């Protein structure tokens, strides 16, 4: 069956390609239109994906397999609180190896050399906490035993360039946080997010001094590590049977990351705006390709009528138009994805957002491009019905 299809395609005259190639100006315009539509779609998906990923990047600092959260949780910076005693109850569940309380708050940081402020997400941890996945953080936790000491994200947005430079030299740098002076005693790299300009890590005691409304009896999140060889989801299900669902939500770490991204997709303007941008890009490409194919069909109606008079079926003529649409999609996609890689790099360098190109995205955009062009071809083929051999003779 497949061999017969391949032989049929090999013996078929490529009328679609020859028609496209006949008018090089029209071909270039069509390919540019497809490429622009692809770039628009790639950029919308890239920025949206980067913004969603920054929302869960702080979570990847921790070597946690399971996260306990308040049922009110929305995203990492809006996690609500749950009772601290849930940690000790969870430690008694089979398969749980260790755990720790995590406090999360947002505060305005002001550099001594500037009146500008930055909104920084502060994480409060036990200085003996052995749960950071990044060695540069784990190696500096002992510095947090000093009162009012912080580890600061060197990738925090301006105006903290001078502060970071001094801290890089090994100096303890004072900054003002919610009206209190604290010292930056070390640096790490994480990056800004949608909700914050950067991050900082403090001891749990320093955190409570910075956020006096928070209570030591409550936690923003509880991080758990499972025993070697244990399945995180199985252990999570055991914890759910022990802890009350009224004040504790139990999720595997990656499940929580997916939950945050889905929440942002469905409930924030970010998801709507960028999804709408993808739809706009699709219809821009559709309109351009439709105009090209429609004009091409209209210009060659006498030739199509002649082919009908020679015995070619209407289905064959539709195949010619769809061949043109397929070629426009395939050829226009190449410059579109290449330009998108360049723009991803430029945008990442300019905004400090980690804009990546996952393997699934080109596949998705290529499928959308094919659908866009074939849909345009399907609409344009309505003119073929007007190709009447009687008009030729």
Cβ-proximal residues to 30 (8 Å cutoff; 6+ apart), any chain:
20, 288, 289, 292, 328, 332
Please give the average per-residue pLDDT across 193-211, as a whole number.
86
Cβ-proximal residues to 169 (8 Å cutoff; 6+ apart), any chain:
none
Q: Supply 93's token pair.
A: 């569940």
- The rounded Cα 36 to chain-centroid distance in angstroms is 21
Of all residues in the chain, what percent carry a pLDDT higher than 90? 17
Give the pLDDT of residue 151. 92
pTM of the model: 0.74
Give the pLDDT of residue 284. 87
Rg (CA), the chain: 29
Using alpha carbons, select from 274, 299, 333, 309 the residue that is nearest to residue 388.
309
How far, in Å, CA of 298 to CA of 293, rounded?
Answer: 8
What is the tens place of the pLDDT at every residue in 75-116?
A: 766 777 889 999 999 999 999 998 889 999 888 888 776 667
């Amino acid at each position: 069956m497949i061999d017969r299809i391949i032989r049929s395609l090999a013996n078929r005259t490529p009328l679609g390609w020859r028609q496209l190639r006949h008018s090089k100006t029209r071909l270039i315009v069509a390919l540019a239109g497809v490429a622009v539509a692809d770039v628009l779609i790639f950029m919308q998906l890239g920025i949206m994906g980067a913004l969603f990923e920054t929302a869960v990047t702080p979570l990847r600092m921790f070597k946690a397999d399971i996260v306990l959260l308040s049922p009110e949780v929305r995203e990492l910076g809006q996690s609500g609180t749950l009772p601290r005693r849930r940690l000790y109850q969870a430690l008694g569940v089979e398969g749980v190896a260790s755990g720790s309380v995590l406090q999360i708050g947002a505060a305005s940081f002001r550099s001594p050399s500037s009146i500008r402020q930055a909104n920084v997400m502060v994480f409060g941890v036990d200085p003996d906490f052995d749960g950071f996945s990044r060695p540069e953080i784990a190696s500096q936790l002992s510095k947090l035993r000093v009162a009012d000491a912080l580890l600061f994200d060197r990738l925090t947005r301006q105006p903290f360039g001078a502060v970071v430079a001094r801290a890089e030299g090994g100096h303890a740098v004072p900054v003002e946080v919610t009206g209190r002076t604290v010292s930056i005693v070390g640096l790490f790299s994480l990056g800004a997010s949608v909700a914050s300009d950067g991050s900082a890590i403090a001891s749990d005691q320093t955190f409570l001094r910075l956020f006096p409304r928070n209570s030591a009896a409550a936690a923003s999140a509880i991080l758990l590590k499972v025993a070697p060889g244990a399945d995180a989801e199985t252990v999570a299900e055991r914890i759910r049977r022990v802890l009350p669902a009224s004040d504790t939500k139990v999720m595997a770490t990656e499940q929580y990351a997916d939950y945050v991204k889905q929440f942002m997709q469905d409930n924030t303007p970010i998801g709507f705006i960028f999804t709408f941008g993808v739809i706009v890009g699709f219809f821009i490409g559709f309109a351009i390709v439709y105009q090209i194919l429609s004009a091409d069909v209209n210009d060659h109606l006498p030739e199509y009528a002649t082919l009908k008079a020679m015995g070619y079926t209407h289905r064959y003529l539709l195949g010619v138009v769809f061949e043109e649409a397929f070629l426009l999609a395939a050829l226009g996609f190449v410059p579109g994805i290449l330009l998108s890689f360049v723009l991803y790099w430029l945008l990442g360098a300019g905004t400090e957002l980690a804009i990546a190109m996952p393997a699934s995205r080109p596949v998705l955009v290529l499928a959308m491009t094919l659908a866009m062009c074939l849909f345009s071809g399907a609409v344009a083929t309505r003119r073929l019905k007007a190709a009447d051999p009687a008009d030729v003779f």
